[in-house]
Amino acid sequence: MEKVVLAYSGGLDTSIIIPWLKENYGYEVIAFCADLGQGEELDNIKEKAIKSGASRIYVEDLKEEFVRDYIFPVLKAGAIYEKKYLLGTSFARPLIAKKMVEIAEKEGAVAVCHGATGKGNDQVRFELGVKALNPHLKIIAPWREWDIKSREDAIDYAAKHGIEVPVTKEKIYSRDRNLWHISHEGGDLEDPANEPKDDLYVLTVPPEKAPDQPTYLEISFEKGVPVAINGKAYGPVELLMELNRIGGANGVGIVSMVENRLVGMKSRGVYETPGGTILYTAHDELERLTLDRRTLKFKHEMAITYAELVYDGNWFCKLRYALDAFVEETQKTVTGTVKVKLYKGSCQAVASWSPYSLYNEELATFGASEMYSHKDAQGFINLFGLPLTVQALLERKIKGE
């Protein structure tokens, strides 16, 4: 019997895919679950998979690799998709695809399978990852093949086959959770006119219910990588978990947005990224202190391209590798500490310091300075404004003035 490796989450879609694969392909189904920090969602995950019909299941703890090799590079790049989305689902998919390919090769499987829908971005992310790492593997995407048309249909299929799933027709949100964030889609959120309900949130409290006093944190970085909170060193996973806890308690990191999917449609999602929001705010402020104007400007422009590459599933492409080389060069001096203020959903950088600071108080002061002469500005302005002067003289000449 030929084998297929299924990217398994224990959720609605992947739970019903196991019996579907056996019925329609006759494959032996090997489930693979990536532990990226889903927490209690992974409780009894092995039993669920076997009960659903999988012959075996791999559950791999990838949290450290996820934060170190996928989250932190995107953070250092400053990449944000369409000014809002911190890419929590996007950069998880290539890691899952990588491990899925490794297990398929180990097991001698002929195919891999994912539960992404035919309308979403994840199908692209999974499949580009597989194509980049092992183009010989067959890819099966049930949502593009079966007769199930909706999550309601999927729930009915699960009930018919005696499969327990973590959703109902009343609580039908599609969620994706990892150490970085949790996303919410579907249900009443599909109408952008609907404000998210307070009981939707998992990682954060509604900002109105956050403490009445602000919380201050000092985030320290070494070469762009966060390493400490309030002077206490943390490992990558522990640091993010602690920031999620503190940020979530202060209502930080909630984003509701209508985004442009790669496949051509607009979709509405709600994201909770408390720790990530704190890190982006602090990292951005430290770069403002330690990078020169021209480098900072180019890096901001580059970040848009970087975010699109990640969002579109091009994690393993040459351009991203090249951009990473540029980013690493810029991060050599992004070392220091930033104080952030959390208050009822807001996150502000209020102070920063670094041994590589380019801020020179003697230059910036309004007082007397031996390094800067106000008189020098006149010649600079004359040269800088010379094109405008020439243009104005030409226009006046044409008008006969």
Average pLDDT over residues 137-161: 90
User: Does residue 224 carry a pLDDT above 80?
Assistant: yes
pLDDT higher for 258 or 373? 258
User: Does residue 151 carry a pLDDT above 90?
Assistant: no
234 is annotated as contributing to ligand binding: no
User: Does residue 167 carry a pLDDT above 70?
Assistant: no
261 is annotated as contributing to ligand binding: no
Q: What is the pLDDT of residues 233-253, one digit of tens each?
A: 999 999 999 999 999 999 999
Beta strands in 8-100 (DSSP E): 28-35, 56-61
162 is annotated as contributing to ligand binding: no
183 is annotated as contributing to ligand binding: yes
Tell me, what's the pLDDT at 170?
Answer: 61
400 is annotated as contributing to ligand binding: no
H or E, element range at 182: strand 182-185
Lowest model confidence (mean pLDDT) among 121-130, 171-180, 216-225, 328-337: 171-180
Tell me, what's the pLDDT at 136?
Answer: 98
What whole-number distance in Å separates Cα of residue 299 and Cα of residue 308? Answer: 14
pTM of the model: 0.93
Lowest model confidence (mean pLDDT) among 110-119, 138-147, 370-379: 370-379
- Pick from 82, 290, 87, 300: nearest CA to 178: 87
Tell me, what's the pLDDT at 143?
Answer: 92
Tell me, what's the pLDDT at 213?
Answer: 98
With bands split at pLDDT 50, 70 and 90, how would you rate the model's confidence at 173? confident
Q: Exposed (0-12), middle (13-18) or buried (19+): which is 331, by Cβ within 10 Å?
A: buried
Q: What is the pLDDT of residues 62-95, one digit of tens each?
A: 999 999 999 999 999 999 999 999 999 999 999 9
With bands split at pLDDT 50, 70 and 90, how would you rate the model's confidence at 206? very high
User: Does residue 144 carry a pLDDT above 90?
Assistant: yes
Q: What is the pLDDT of residues 16-48, one digit of tens each?
A: 999 999 999 999 999 999 999 999 889 999 999
User: Does residue 210 carry a pLDDT above 70?
Assistant: yes
Q: What is the pLDDT of residues 275-325, one digit of tens each?
A: 999 999 999 999 999 999 999 999 999 999 999 999 999 999 999 999 999
For residue 218, the cross-strand partners are 339
User: Does residue 60 carry a pLDDT above 80?
Assistant: yes
271 is annotated as contributing to ligand binding: yes
247 is annotated as contributing to ligand binding: no
Tell me, what's the pLDDT at 168?
Answer: 62
Q: How far, CA to CA in Å, does 121 sit from each of 252, 314, 366?
A: 26, 12, 52
Tell me, what's the pLDDT at 374?
Answer: 86
pLDDT higher for 170 or 279? 279
Average pLDDT over residues 188-197: 95
The residues assigned a catalytic role are 13, 93, 122, 174
Tell me, what's the pLDDT at 367?
Answer: 66
Mean of the per-residue pLDDT values of the chain: 95
Domains annotated on the chain, with CATH:
3-79+90-170 (3.40.50.620), 181-291+334-353 (3.90.1260.10)
Cα end-to-end distance, the chain, whole Å: 90
174 is annotated as contributing to ligand binding: yes
Say what percent of the chain tops pLDDT 90.
85
